[in-house]
A and B are shown apart, each in its own frame.
Chain A
């Protein structure tokens, strides 16, 4: 089938219309208010920075696709988005080759080398800025004032110089060219949230983590001024809404995202409080890539539990306290009350062995032909009904073979859980047993083996119990081992032996 045909050949045949490119275009749309901030306060230079950064990103990605012989991916607009974001977080005072270099670095080293979109493990734009910060520290700290008048630096704000909150909200503060106006960032964020491109989980968790850490450890307690400055200044909002929510570098599970967001918020706060990263602006620069590194790990440990996996079927649990083989049957896993017919939902049933009779032939045939049983037994082909019936008739008549069924009577009905066959030979009883598929995994095999010992004692000359098991049969291995049988290898099978103490 040619490629064109293949497109129309896979279920489902309808799809949601939002594509990767649509997501990226929506992100670009939501960045427009921030672009507006940049041009308004910083003029032509800002515009140039953004254009250069986007162009550099696109060219770098195209080049890498060529070099690595991959299909061109610039069409999905992710490079344009990275380029734009990369420029918006830079100070206006940097030379024009900085945005070009950062964009090239982020596309080539951070993204393409690891396999392109979806494969990078740190945020490209932020890592680009991080690289610049490490290499050209002084240049990156000078946020200048541009046309904003006497804007106040984040560092000054944190050390106590007060400034009009309104100014900071609107953007008259120093910072990355697009990140200074909290209002515009929030407008853009609303667009992202309302269109469903990002979910509120990460930003909310991040800001919550930040605020909490500041309250507890910031040294200023609940001082609203400090908290607000930290929230709306230093590129925090931009990082939380536009960069921490980057798909590739954030976890995919809801719980993972919560942890991730909180971790980011806490780390930003810690870096600001301790001043390790330098001025407040840099906290995000170091925090985000660090937290990025935990995303895959968080995914792994918060993998969701499949629906219904904690089975709600009739589980059969062995009640340690009781004597005899008393088993607890739990009807439902949930705590719910069943109905008003009076049934509690828990019963204790008594298991026993009853000698098999001709009427059990069908049940035994089903057990023998169950696919899992066959793969664990020494005879793996399907057994025909007449062969089985012949064999069964002979086995019933054979004085040295005893066949029992593990049963219980519940509500006047007999339930058969499995079968046991003992073959007596020279003082030893060879055990073979099967538990019906729907009752496996609940320790019934062990119960059956326990009862087998009693059954074997019915022949007083029996002194040894023997079981032979295929190596792959984990369930049987567990059962035999738990009853103190001695294990030894016999070719590619395992032999379990236990001597029966003679009962006085």
Chain B
């Protein structure tokens, strides 16, 4: 039997998850407008290299940029149309990235896809090749090219293939809907992983609060001897890789290590569905499921969106802001409110492989207030999932003392933001700590082995 821990980890916090706004909205496909923007860097590693030129006509599913090396990914057109050019465009994290601009001819002509593969007759090599060809990267936000991740994993040393279906960020319900509507796609993705790792067991990890999803998955996997469905306590950040692995298997991972070193491979819901698509139907990664939600959105929804579509069009499809609300009264977020980025209300940014949601919150509901003095209440210490002392790390950051920061294990921080969430004095613990951490990680002398997990070029 699987050795289980208490299905949870130490620290963490139960959040108001706001999922009731969009969890009952079935996934609907929305079509994009006239202009599609494809940033060449939607992953960790080197930007991809365009293989089309201005004036070329492309089909939906056609490769428009090639991976530059192993730690990079291919990029595909999600519509058919003409290439308008390659220029720098802003992406959700505020960087201007060279992007391929394509005019959508609205005909959605596809490239030719060969017949579906049968899993039983597909070799590991073929699977890896298909995953690479489809341009799949870690779709939970990590952006690590999946091909690269699987390449590093020794097939005989992996005992657990874990599907991270927890979706612990508030407001996001894309995984939730996927599990309810098309669980077979996720499970098939996991079956493909299990074929690649013959000694492994598969675990579908869902949150305790997702009873319906749990049942749907159990139904789906009744015949699978190697797959287990496990419920984990509804606590943030249960979806964080290290905490997830611990809650399911009892194995611990520190920030210098990668999961395959303790025999685990963790994949996000979307990634598994994309793997299934790529391996069986040869389809590349061209769509994403995005949740549009928040107390300022008129009709919160879950959309199947083509990569390259603008955020503005996606928000409009959800009815835009509630009547009477002006953009200045709201805060627009890419991703969830705990770990997402703030984006401009103009929303002139494209959906990429790493997008997961557009959340718009009214400023009033955010109760933002100025930070006041730390009173050493110790709440941040209680909730940190990695047993760190955020108030100490914050002090080290304020003083710019990098060595003390490292000594106090600041590099183990997983960016979850729970400390800032709970601080009664509203101190911006997590953003300062993360800033200092990133600063140190760029310096290999200081960071040492911690830099392994951060291979951004």
Give A residues with C-beta under 8 Å from B. 3, 7-20, 22-23, 73, 76, 78, 116-119, 247-248, 250-254, 257, 303-314, 331-334, 336-339, 341, 371-372, 374-375, 411, 413, 437-438, 440-441, 472
Are B417's CB and A253's CB within 8 A?
no
Q: If A7-B370, A10-B420 touch, does A336 touch B3 (CB 8 Å cutoff)?
A: yes
Residue contact A413 to B373, C-beta cutoff 8 Å: no
- Chain A residues contacting B375 (CB-CB under 8 Å) are 20, 78, 117-118, 247-248
**19 A-B pairs (CB sep. < 8 Å):** A8-B331, A8-B363, A8-B366, A13-B333, A14-B361, A15-B366, A15-B368, A18-B424, A19-B425, A78-B375, A117-B372, A118-B374, A248-B376, A303-B389, A307-B252, A309-B412, A331-B263, A372-B451, A438-B261
Instruction: Contact check, A437 vs B452: say whether CB atoms are below 8 A apart.
Output: yes
Contact across chains for B372 and A76 when beta carbons are under 8 A apart: yes
Are A306 and B261 within 8 A (Cβ)?
A: no
How many B residues have CB within 8 A of the partner chain? 77
Looking at B19-27, B215-223, B284-292, B337-345, the stretch in contact with chain A turns out to be B337-345
CB-contacts of B372-410 with A (<8 A):
372-378, 381-382, 385-389, 391-392, 408-409
- Beyond A19-B369, A438-B261, is A10–B428 a contact (Cβ under 8 Å)? yes
Once the chains bind, are B409 and A309 in contact (CB under 8 Å)? Answer: yes
A447 vs B442: C-alpha distance in the bound complex, in angstroms?
A: 31
Asked if A307 and B425 make an inter-chain contact with CB atoms under 8 angstroms apart, the answer reads no
Q: Which of B7-27 contact A (CB under 8 A)?
A: 9-10, 13, 15-16
Q: Are A314 and B409 in touch, CB under 8 angstroms?
A: no
- Name the contact of A12 in the complex, choosing from B242, B261, B337 (C-beta under 8 A): B337
Contacts of A23 in B (CB 8 A): 377, 424
Q: Decide: A14 and B337 in contact? CB cutoff 8 A.
A: yes
CA A333 – CA B246 in complex, angstroms? 13
A312 B361 Cβ-Cβ under 8 A: no
Tell me the complex Cα distance, A118–B381, Å: 16
Set of chain A residues within 8 Å of B246, measured between Cβ atoms? 307-308
CA separation between A438 and B431, bound complex, in Å? Answer: 29
A22 vs B251: C-alpha distance in the bound complex, in angstroms? 39
Q: Given A12-B417, A341-B199, A440-B449, do A306 and B387 touch, yes or no (CB 8 Å)?
A: yes
User: Which of B368, B374, B422, B445 is A375 in contact with, Cβ under 8 Å?
Assistant: B445
Q: Is the CB of B363 within 8 A of A372?
A: no
User: A332 CA to B262 CA in the complex, in Å?
Assistant: 7
Known interface pairs A8-B342, A252-B378; A308-B444 also in contact (CB < 8 Å): no
Apart from A339-B201, A472-B445, 8 more pairs, CB < 8 Å: A13-B359, A13-B361, A15-B420, A19-B369, A23-B424, A248-B376, A312-B262, A334-B250
Contact of A116 among B340, B373, B378 (CB under 8 A): B373
In the bound complex, CA of A440 to CA of B450 (Å): 12
Interface status of B348 (Cβ within 8 A of chain A): no
Verify B372–A20 contact, CB threshold 8 A: yes
A116 contacts which chain B residues (CB < 8 A)? 373
Determine if B412 and A306 form an interchain contact, defined as CB atoms under 8 angstroms apart: yes
- CB of A14 within 8 A of CB of B373, answer no
B153 interface contact, C-beta 8 A: no
Q: How far is the CA of A267 from the CA of B91 in the complex (A)?
A: 61
Interface membership of chain B positions 246-285, coded 1 if the CB is closer than 8 angstroms to chain A and 0 otherwise: 1000111110110001110000000000000000000000
Closest to B445 in A: A375
The answer for the CA separation of A258 and B448 in the assembled complex, in Å, is 36
- Report if B61 contacts A (CB, 8 A): no
A-contacting residues, B308-346, CB 8 Å: 331, 333, 337-342
B367 at the interface (CB under 8 A from A): yes
Bound complex: CA A303 to CA B9 (Å):
19
Q: Are B261 and A314 in contact, CB atoms less than 8 angstroms apart? A: yes
Complex CA–CA separation, A438 to B153 (angstroms):
13
Enumerate chain A residues within 8 angstroms of B431, measured Cβ to Cβ.
Answer: 10-11
Q: Contact at B340–A374, with CB atoms within 8 Å?
A: no
Residues of A within 8 A of B148 (CB): none
Measured between beta carbons, the chain A residues less than 8 angstroms from B252 are 307-308, 310-312, 333-334
CB distance from A488 to the nearest CB of B (A): 24
| A479–B408 alpha-carbon span in the complex (Å) | 27
B388 touches A371 (CB 8 A): no
Listed from nearest, the 7 A-B pairs whose CB atoms lie closest are A371-B444, A252-B378, A308-B252, A12-B417, A308-B254, A7-B368, A13-B337
Across the interface, do A252 and B389 meet the contact criterion of CB distance under 8 Å?
A: yes
**B373/A117 in contact, CB under 8 A:** yes
* Residues of A close to B116: CB separation below 8 A: none
Question: Which chain B residues border A14 with CB–CB below 8 Å?
Answer: 15-16, 170, 337-338, 361, 366, 421
B304 at the binding interface (Cβ < 8 Å): no
Query: B35 interface residue, CB < 8 Å from A?
Result: no
Contact of B409 with A15 in the complex, beta carbons under 8 Å: no
B338: chain A residues within 8 A (beta carbon): 11-14
Expressed in whole angstroms, the Cα–Cα distance for A130 and B391 within the complex equals 30
Q: Give Cα distance in the complex from A118 to B448, angstroms.
A: 35
Instruction: Report A102 CB to chain B, min CB distance, Å.
Output: 21
Q: Please report the C-alpha to C-alpha distance between residue A78 and residue B372 in the assembled complex, in whole angstroms.
A: 12
Query: B367: which A residues are within 8 A, CB to CB?
Result: 15, 17
Closest to B11 in A: A307
Shortest CB distance B433–A (Å):
11
Residue on A nearest B372 in the bound complex, by CB: A20
Task: Provide the bound-state CA to CA distance between A313 and B245, in Å.
Answer: 13
Tell me whether A307 and B424 are in contact (CB under 8 A).
no
Q: Which residues of B contact A411 (CB under 8 A)?
A: 156
Are A307 and B339 in contact, CB atoms less than 8 angstroms apart?
no
Q: How far is the CB of A69 from chain B (nearest CB, A)?
A: 15
Instruction: Give the most central of A17, A116, A438: most B CB within 10 Å.
Output: A438
A16/B422 in contact, CB under 8 A: yes
Q: How many Å from the CB of A311 to the closest CB on chain B?
A: 6
Question: In the complex, what's the smallest C-beta–C-beta distance from B91 to chain A, in angstroms?
Answer: 17
Q: List the A residue with the shortest CB-CB distance to B16.
A: A14
The answer to whether B409 touches A306, judged by C-beta atoms less than 8 angstroms apart, is yes
Closest residue of chain B to A13, judged by CB? B337
Most buried by A among B13, B201, B263, B382: B263
Tell me which residues across on chain A come within 8 A of B363, comparing CB atoms.
Answer: 8
A residues near B444, Cβ cutoff 8 Å: 371-372, 374-375
CB neighbours (8 Å) of B425 from chain A are: 19-20
A118, A334, A337: the one contacting B373 at CB < 8 Å is A118
Q: Contact: B242 with A307, CB < 8 Å?
A: yes
A446 to B408, CA, bound (A): 29
Chain B residues with Cβ below 8 Å from A336 are 3, 250
The verdict on A338 contacting B159 (CB below 8 Å), with A76-B372, A306-B388, A375-B444 known, is yes
B426 part of interface (Cβ distance < 8 Å): yes
Chain A contacts of B331 at CB under 8 A?
8, 13
